[in-house]
Amino acid sequence: MTITRRTFLRLSGAAVPVAASLGAAVGPDRWAELRRRLSGPLLVPGDAGYEAARHGYFTMYDHHPAAIAGCVSEADVQACVDFAAHHGVPVAARSGGHSYVGYSTVDGGLVVDVGRLDRIRVLGHGHAVVGAGARLGPVYQALGSAGRALGAGTCPTVGIAGLTLGGGVGVLGRLLGLTCDQLESARVVTADGVARTVSAHEHADLFWALRGGGGGNFGIVTSFTFRTAPAPDLTSFSLQFPPAAAAALFAEWQDWQPRQPDELWSDLGLGATAANFGGCFAGPRGRLKPILDAFVRRVGAAPTMREEPETDFLGAMRYFAGCADLGGSACGPGWGGGTGSIGTAAYVATSRMQLRPAKDPAAVLELLSEDPVSYTIVDGGGGAIARGDSAFPHRRALASFQFIYGLDHAPETAARRAIGRMRDGLGPEFGTTGYVNYLDPEMPDWGRAYYGSSLPGLRAVARRYDPDRVFAFPQGVTPA
């Protein structure tokens, strides 16, 4: 089967990962104490529903938490944070989307599941309030039905929280910016148990950090208020070239895509047997077709498949999602107690940001094609992304590279070695960089890779709002 973005569920953003080092053991009476404080359920091993609730999207990250709190209100989240801080319990927040390294659960600790906080309200003046447990499918359905749009990812089961907090690469990124660029304010429970409204005018330092500083580093977000845009009609496109054309496709694309108008976003899918090119254009097919025709001539090979459906915003999001009902079970998760049709996955991934054109595109493709199992997704940057201002450090990147290796072909250790060779092999070409929403436990110098020049500022925010490291996990930002 040909692999494309629509057949390989990708993570654009994820659960809200938070975890701390193991603390003192908590007895049944203490969990009973927390249960009395919550409006939602608290599940411990042996309870009905615990086994289903502990499973996430990635099958290799199924941990055994001491308790899972199904929060139904912001007050529930506050009670959990207060309890964890008081008793020294490891705490991990989870929205129920995806989480690359499994930091959204922790053995022996407390999972603060905000998946039930999924209400979506489309307000006047182009704003929308989205609960931290909402996933992209229902978000797109609610916004699109109201004639509004948000720049975000393609997979309907990605959590809005992790996506936004890590930046938010998406199909309208060049037109509207990263998902975090469209954030007006957020409600967040900090380590002291206080629920705060953060914006450019309130706790501006924390607001800056939450927009690209990574999920879970500074608190647990309970809701987001986004500035939305009028939903444009879109022409989506997907072209498949012969695998032998992959080097030429990448070479021409890296020069071509930065020169395109903001209305056009594109990506590549590359591998030993893949040379795919896709994206969308905020405009009619008649305007897009000559642009694509000119690009095909540059590549110098005829595509073996080409389609350019012209739809409204919702139709385009359904096209990328590969399912028809964005708000229903067909596009919903089948893990964590969910009854949706989209199942779990088993693959590992890592990333690099392309900061400049590759001097030797053929050598890049040779590296990406060494292992026939691996697949690389290249998302275009530029446009409004480059003009944004937040903690996201890779504003000037031409593209982000996501390297993927399925575990049905190799054990996790071998798969990580394979993607590590690509990651490290591109280091001299692309620099020591990475996208925090593709967390990699073996990323060299991960602090600089993920956060770059923003790292000192993020550490200062961590020191101010979480000096005792209530929210700590293996690749978490530590106080300065």
Q: Give the separation between CA 15 and CA 307, rounded to whole angstroms.
A: 33
pLDDT tens track, the chain, 480 positions: 344 444 443 333 333 333 333 434 788 889 999 999 999 999 999 999 999 999 899 988 878 999 999 999 999 999 999 999 999 998 989 998 888 887 777 788 999 999 999 999 999 889 999 999 999 999 999 999 999 999 999 999 999 999 999 999 999 999 999 999 999 999 999 999 999 999 999 999 999 999 999 998 999 999 999 999 999 999 999 999 999 999 999 999 999 999 999 999 999 999 999 999 999 999 999 999 999 999 999 999 999 999 999 999 999 999 999 999 999 999 999 998 899 999 999 999 999 999 999 999 999 999 999 999 999 999 999 999 999 999 999 999 999 999 999 999 899 999 999 999 999 999 888 888 999 999 999 999 999 999 999 999 999 999 999 999 999 989 999 987
Is the same domain home to 291 and 301? yes
Torsion over CA: 4, 376, 63, 26 (sign): negative
Confirm whether 306 is domain-assigned: yes
Is the same domain home to 241 and 188? no
Is the same domain home to 166 and 215? yes
The CATH number assigned to the domain holding 442 equals 3.40.462.20
- Which of 90, 113, 136 is at the close of a domain? 113
Is the same domain home to 277 and 388? yes
Q: Give the separation between CA 147 and CA 231, rounded to whole angstroms.
A: 5
Is the same domain home to 304 and 425? yes
Host domain of residue 155: 120-231+453-465
Burial of 220 (0-12, 13-18, 19+ CB in 10 A): buried
Q: Give the separation between CA 451 and CA 466, rounded to whole angstroms.
A: 18
Is the same domain home to 91 and 124? no
Concatenating the DSSP letter of every residue in 69-105 gives EE--SHHHHHHHHHHHHHHT--EEEE-SS--TT-TT-
The pairs formed by 41-44 with CB atoms below 8 angstroms and a separation of 24 or more are: 41/69, 41/70, 42/67, 42/68, 42/69, 42/70, 43/67, 43/68, 43/70, 44/68
Is the same domain home to 64 and 152? no
Is the same domain home to 351 and 361? yes
Confirm whether 394 is domain-assigned: yes
Confirm whether 4 is domain-assigned: no
Q: Which amino acid is at 168?
A: G
Neighbours of 46 (CB within 10 A): 7
Read off φ and ψ for residue 337, nearest 5 degrees.
Answer: 90, -5
Strand-strand pairing, 110-113 and 91-94? parallel
Confirm whether 148 is domain-assigned: yes
- Please give the C-alpha separations between residue 443 and each of 154, 420, 432, 450, 476, in angstroms, as whole numbers: 25, 8, 9, 9, 13
CB 216 within 8 A of CB 132: no
Is the same domain home to 263 and 354? yes
- Which of 79, 113, 147 is at the close of a domain? 113
C-alpha closest to that of 179 among 476, 453, 385, 38:
385
C-alpha closest to that of 119 among 106, 111, 130, 108:
130
Is the same domain home to 315 and 361? yes
Is the same domain home to 289 and 179? no
Confirm whether 145 is domain-assigned: yes
How many domains would you assign to the chain?
3
